Structure 1
Amino acid sequence: MFKHLNKDIPASVVVFFVALPLCLGIALASGAPLFSGLIAGMVGGIVVGSLSGAQLGVSGPAAGLAVIVLGAIQSLGSYDIFLLAVVIAGIFQVILGALKAGIIGYYFPSSVIKGMLAGIGITIAISQIPNVFGLGGDALENFSISRGIGSAFNQFAELISLGALLMTLVALGILLLWEKVLLKKHKIFSLVPGPLVAVVIGVLYYIFVNDPVWGIPESQLVTVPVPEDAASFLAQFTFPNFGEIMNAEVWVVAITIAIVASLETLLSVEAIDKLDPLKRTTPTNRELFAQGGGNIVSGLIGGLPVTQVIVRSSTNTMAGGRTKMSAILHGFLILISIIIIPTILNKIPLAVLAAVLLLVGYKLAKPALFAQMYKLGKGQFLPFIITILGVVFADLLIGIGLGLAVGIAVILINSYKNSHFLHKEGFENNDGHYKITTAEELSFLNKGAILRELNLIPNGSYIVLDVTKTRVLDYDVLEILDEFSIKAKRKDITIKLISNKGEIENPVSFRQYFGLDVPA
């Protein structure tokens, strides 16, 4: 955990600046106290980060749960009763981890996962448009196009904050300059993250530019509660009402939160493992246990339910994080910042944070990704695009459900029927030589079992992979094999591939070997 602090510390700062407004925004959308979002962010970083086996995953309050939380608080009648449901949900998640339910995350095709990431990227970008133009919450309340496009354009132009727009462009310029140019020039630039520089410049701009046209209004700044003393700080914590333990509706809410939060976590784990440049595998059962522990603690001290979240996790990955220390440190940064420097935090323009999120959104939904998925054929592209549409126009779970349904339909159309997918030899002897013979058809439904078997192969082994009988080899399986080949080099494992095309040791790319590697 301490070997990569030179990368984890800068990444934790980047994640902190992304997580802070998200924690507050999700709390606001959930109809909960704003401080509850910060509590969930702290718990997600410190508690879940410490218990988890995920090296790049970051946990905190999730936008996907906001609607459920809002409805639950209203139906239960008070926030302290809702906190009891959060604690019970955490206990359920611990039980799910003990029952080894984490395997269900592997039964989602990569096209759906990539679609989920791209859909979230697009949603992030769209959600930041008001902050880019400096439009307050009620700025568009009286906006109308009934008097024509020209009038509407003039009306919109009057609402725009030129200062916020300028700050967004400046912040984007700094982020791109840092990433594309300066990081390649000198190592010193990797010690100071670009987003931190952008935030500092944004704070200075707000302080020194008071012009009514080019200044940034207070409505477009981060809003963090400012405690007057230790007592007022501790007074912001809320405790669950255990007197409602026999309330049946509390248990219904708890089960709902446990299921949805667990599913979102497992999907995030699958997605972030794919983004991991070292191709490490997160222990999913341990992750459910960690999330359960986090929800128990969060519920006990007044926080929202937590899950592993795509936005912060992908930001952590793209910022260069290497171990879970970056997630833990970001939790401490949230804690320290709201105690020591809340007034400074309240001077950060939302336009700067919008620039950070716009860049994250673009990286998740690059046009090259759409072209790549299209070239892979209908079997990959249809679930991918349907998932995106569902996430953008409905919500995360609906998008995933639609994408998964399309993926299953594609398999059924192709008449996929096979219950025996591989035969193992040599595992009983443990002599370092193993042979795996694959069956006629392999699809994404076999990913979890294949990954489990490959992870059982010890260091220094020699493995023969015979696919001569296989007629349908799914793209998802080839991704698993490519990721395993990267880990195999570190574990000194030799892979001999036998196919109808011949024999080869340690192929550079299984996807390229079978003609399914499409350049981005």
Structure 2
Amino acid sequence: MKNENTEQDQNIDHGSAAFIAKYASRDLQAGVITATMAIPLSIGIAMMSDYPIQVGLATVAFASFIAFIFAIFRPGNYIGAPGIAAGLAPILAMGIATFGMENMAFIIFMTATFQAVIWKFNWQRYLLMAVPSYLVEGLLAGIGLKIALKFLPFLWMLPAGAATDEAFWSDARIQIIALSVVGTILFLLLFKKFKDTKPALPYFTLIVYGIVASLFIDVKMLTVEDVNFTLALPIPNFDSLYLWAYAIFFSLMLAVVDVIEQVMSNAAIEKIDPLERPSNSNNSLLSIWVSNMGASFFGGMTNLDGLAKSSTNHLAGAYTKLSVLVIGILITFFVFNSQYLHYLPYFALAIIMSFVGIKMFLGLLHIAAFGPYAVLLATVCAGLVFKVGIFEGLIITLIIHGVISYVIFSEIESMPAGTIVSKYFQKFKVDDQELN
């Protein structure tokens, strides 16, 4: 029966990716639950990216609407929930520091352009061949460590206006640390118990706990600056040829990382689809680059179908992208009514984002199945990404991987250099029909 449903959903009615009447109530419920988890997570990722919070939420809402529309015509996956990715947050922050916020629209536009080229020629299928998946895990682990260390100080941050000349262990500091410790324990216990049944419950409970606690104890609250959204062409203003060249390289690397994360997410989303419908990564990429290109005209961020949000969407009962439309509508409400976000305490957001970062770092444990060499190289990649830089760390690790592979083939297996190069490119010569 499931195989019949899969074939029907894939080949007969593409519109079922966006809506199936008998599952409508479940999709509506799933959208509300996933939005409950996605809103604080998106706020934290926007903060980590050094983007305005409203811009981050607007990006998620816009990507959700685009995902729903494309699910009608070109479904990539059936229950994936798009949004801004934690793994790309430090990269975007680095972009702002390098190019300035005024030029980030051009960076996002160029990122979308490169993704459009990758989509047009279906090159996404080759990326994981060129960059081993365990190195991607190492990259994300290094980024996760950056995220955790960025938000950990918020767990003991004093509220605005508090005296800063007191000793560290002041009464106010002890109160905030106590709240953070209790909130962390509460979140972890609920996550452990309900992550496979009610994944949004830990996030919702933590936010409610933080809001209630703020009524009795003075804590630092979230402040959201109003953004004047305007539509404009993403025209850059670079004052040197070096910045032009680096902007192109930066956009290309951002596009590649974004696409690789989406391909990996699609593989996972396919496994949790309730009707066992296959994903189409190239169709997902179409939705992503259109969303990214559209976002560049209002100063938005990059997006992809995040695994955390997609898993929540699945466990909340989603069957189609109708749930994603609901997510987009609810997040749009907070984009234009951001005053309600001022009730969120910083320490609650810090618990969520520190958890996300640590979880990304612990992804290194999943690499054990690839063997000790993969574990070692991924760990090196994580360390380099954290210490040297995101792109630099990945490139250095790829060079190390290439040198080691060359030495093994040339010295141990006595293989000529030409044969080694030919052997490397041979793995890309896979029958297109088999890959598709």
TM-score of the superposed pair, with normalisation by structure 1: 0.62
Distance 1:139 1:104 in 2: 54
1:403 aligns with 2:411: no
Q: Which runs of 5+ in 1 are unaligned?
A: 143-153, 210-214, 227-232, 419-441, 457-520
Change (3 A) 1:401 1:173: same
Flag the structure with higher strand content. 1
Letter in 2 for 1:42: A
Flag the structure with higher helix content. 2
- 2:231 corresponds to which of 225, 233, 239: 239
Q: How well do the aligned residues superpose, as a CA RMSD in angstroms? A: 4.2
Mapping 1:427-446, distance limit 5 Å: 446=427
1:111 aligns with 2:134: yes
Distance 1:393 1:136 in 2: 31
Change (3 A) 1:65 1:110: same
Change (3 A) 1:241 1:272: closer
Change (3 A) 1:34 1:196: closer
Q: 1:60 matched to which residue of 2?
A: 84
Q: 1:262 matched to which residue of 2?
A: 255
- SS at the partner of 1:170? helix
Mapping 1:6-25, distance limit 5 Å: 6-25=29-48
Distance 2:344 2:255 in 1: 33
TM-score of the superposed pair, with normalisation by structure 2: 0.72
Distance 1:119 1:339 in 2: 34
Distance 1:126 1:140 in 2: 24
Q: Aligned-pair distance for 1:411? A: 2.8
- SS at the partner of 1:128? helix
Q: Which runs of 5+ in 2 are unaligned?
A: 1-17, 417-422
- SS at the partner of 2:271? coil
Q: Aligned-pair distance for 1:196? A: 1.0
Letter in 2 for 1:40: T
Q: 1:125 matched to which residue of 2?
A: 148
Distance 1:139 1:377 in 2: 51
Q: Is the 8 A contact 1:224 1:346 kept in 2?
A: yes
Change (3 A) 1:448 1:400: farther
1:195 aligns with 2:203: yes
1:343 aligns with 2:339: yes
After TM superposition, the structure 1 stretch with the greater mean CA deviation from structure 2, 267-276 or 318-327, is 318-327
Q: Is the 8 A contact 1:18 1:357 kept in 2?
A: yes
After TM superposition, the structure 1 stretch with the greater mean CA deviation from structure 2, 10-19 or 154-163, is 154-163
After TM superposition, the structure 1 stretch with the greater mean CA deviation from structure 2, 118-127 or 239-248, is 239-248
Q: Is the 8 A contact 1:124 1:361 kept in 2?
A: yes
Mapping 1:292-331, distance limit 5 Å: 292-301=289-298, 303-308=299-304, 313-319=306-312, 321=314, 328-331=325-328
Q: Aligned-pair distance for 1:8? A: 5.0
Mapping 1:331-480, distance limit 5 Å: 331-340=328-337, 342-366=338-362, 369-370=364-365, 373=367, 377-415=371-409, 446=427, 449=430, 454=434
Distance 2:236 2:150 in 1: 37
Q: C-alpha deviations, 1:111-133, integer Å up to 9, x for none? A: 21222233333332222211111
Q: Is the 8 A contact 2:35 2:327 kept in 1?
A: yes
Q: Is the 8 A contact 1:125 1:362 kept in 2?
A: yes
Change (3 A) 1:141 1:388: farther
Q: Is the 8 A contact 1:382 1:406 kept in 2?
A: no
Q: Aligned-pair distance for 1:86? A: 4.1
Distance 1:379 1:178 in 2: 36
Distance 1:216 1:167 in 2: 11
Distance 1:175 1:242 in 2: 41
